[in-house]
Amino acid sequence: MSTTIQRQVPLLDLGAQHRQIRTEVMAAITRVVDSQKFIMGDDVRKLEQEVAAYCGCQYAIGCASGSDALFLALLAAGVQPGERVLTTPYTFFATAGAIVQAGAVPVFADIDPITFNLDVSQAANVLDRYKGIRVIIPVHLFGACADVDPLLDLANQAGLFVIEDAAQSIGAEYKNRRAGSLGRVGCFSFFPSKNLGAYGDAGMLTTNDCALAEALAALRVHGAKKKYVHDIVGINSRLDTLQAAVLSVKFRFLDSWTQGRRQNADRYRRLFSERRVPVQSPGVAPHTTRHVYNQFVITCSRRNELKTWLEQHGIGSEIYYPIPLHLQKCFSSLGYQEGDFPVSERIARESLALPVFPELAADDTEYVCDTIRDFYER
C-alpha cells in the first residue's frame, strides 16, 4: 500500500530565501559582470569589513571555501609535517582533512553528550597523553560554540595555537562573544546551506592578530604580499567577487534569518514537550548565549526507521554524521578502533537533523512533530 504524502517539508528551502532577495542579488551580480572585475574586487574588501565587525574582530580575510580557511589557518600557524593537531571526531570531514593536507596528524578527543562539541576534560586527557600537539581545533558544531575558555587555558599553559572551526556558526555567541573572535583565528564557510550562504563555494578567516592577518592574506594568493614577489609558499584561494557581492546582499538579512531559526527551534522544543514526543532536543550549555541553529539535531531511538518514516510523509531530514572521523577508512592508519570515542559513536547512531530554516512555517513544525509522534505511537 502506498503512502499518501500530505505535504512537503524540505530540510532546507533555498528557493524560498532567494525569492525574497532575488532583485537585489541579480542587480549585484549584473553590476559585477558589467565591471568585469571578478577577482579580489571592492566587494571582497567590503564583505571582509562587514564580517570582521560582525564577529568582533579587527581583520577578516576572504578565501575560496571553508575547507581552504582551515588549511590556510594551519599554514599560518606554522604546522610542520608529522605534528599532531587535536580536534573532535564528530564533525564534517573537512576539519580533519585540512589537518592531513597540511601534513599534520589528527588526534581526537571525544565530545560532550549534551552539546556534541569537544569535551574539555577529554581534550585535557589527550594533551597529557600525546606530546607534541601544537594546535587545537574546537568545532562550533551545528550553530553553538564549543566551551572555549577552558580550552584557551589549556592552550595558554602549553603554548598551543587555537583555530576555531566556525563553519556552521556565524553569529553564534559564547558568553556574549562572537564565534571567530575566541581563538587565534576563526574559519567560516559560506557553502550555500550555511546560515550565510553563497551561490557557490566561499569562505572567510577572522583574527585580531595583525601579523597573522597579513600572513593569511598572502597565503591565499600563492604567498605573495606583492605581485610576483613570494616570500612564502601559499595556494590559490581567492574569494570570487561575484560571491562576495551576493554575500553582502544576504548579510543584511542574516540576523533576521537567524532569529527565524531560533524561533523554529524554540517551537520544536515546546511542541515536543506539549505533545510528549519521545526525542531529545539539542542541548544548550550555559555558556551559549546565542545558538544560531545551522542545524536542529535531535537524538532518538530507531533513528534510521524514523528517517524513512519522515521521508514517506514528505519531510526532509539528514544524518550529521553517520560515521565518526576516527572510523573513516581513510584514517585507519591512525590506529583508532570502534569504542575509542563512545559518545561520538552513540550520537552518530542516534542523531537526526530536522528542518529549521527561517522560512519554515509554524504549521510545518507542527506537522513534523506530529509525524514523529505518530511514528513512536504506531
Give the start-to-end residue ranges of the domains of the chain.
Answer: 17-251, 253-377
Query: Is there a contact between 354 and 268 (Cβ–Cβ < 8 Å)?
Result: yes
173-197 mean pLDDT? 98
Q: What is the pLDDT of residue 302?
A: 98
How far is the C-alpha of 107 from the C-alpha of 118, rounded, in Å?
12
Average pLDDT, the chain: 96
Strands 84-87 and 133-136 turn out to be parallel
Evaluate if residue 220 carries a pLDDT over 70: yes
pTM: 0.96
108-122 mean pLDDT? 97
13-30 mean pLDDT? 97
Looking at 38-42, 171-175, 273-277, which range is the least confident one? 38-42
312-326 mean pLDDT? 97
CATH level 2 (architecture), domain 17-251: 3-Layer(aba) Sandwich (3.40)
How far is the C-alpha of 135 from the C-alpha of 317, rounded, in Å?
34
69-90 mean pLDDT? 97
How far is the C-alpha of 291 from the C-alpha of 96, rounded, in Å?
24
Question: For a pLDDT cut of 70, what percent of the chain falls above it?
Answer: 98
Evaluate if residue 5 carries a pLDDT over 80: no
Selecting from 3.90.1150.10, 1.25.40.80, 3.30.930.10, 1.10.260.40, what CATH number does the domain 253-377 have?
A: 3.90.1150.10
Choose among 283, 259, 279: nearest CA to 271: 279
**pLDDT tens track for 255-281:** 999 999 999 999 999 999 999 999 999
Write out the three cell numbers for 366.
507542527
Helix locations, 220-302, DSSP H: 241-251, 254-274
Alpha carbon distances (Å) from 155 to 63, 120, 150:
26, 11, 9
Q: What is the pLDDT of residue 131?
A: 84
Evaluate if residue 335 carries a pLDDT over 60: yes
How far is the C-alpha of 371 from the C-alpha of 274, rounded, in Å?
14
Evaluate if residue 1 carries a pLDDT over 60: no
- Per-residue confidence band for 4, with pLDDT thresholds at 50, 70 and 90: low
Helices and strands counted in the chain (H then E): 12, 14
Query: Is there a contact between 193 and 199 (Cβ–Cβ < 8 Å)?
Result: no
Alpha carbon distances (Å) from 323 to 7, 186, 326:
31, 25, 8
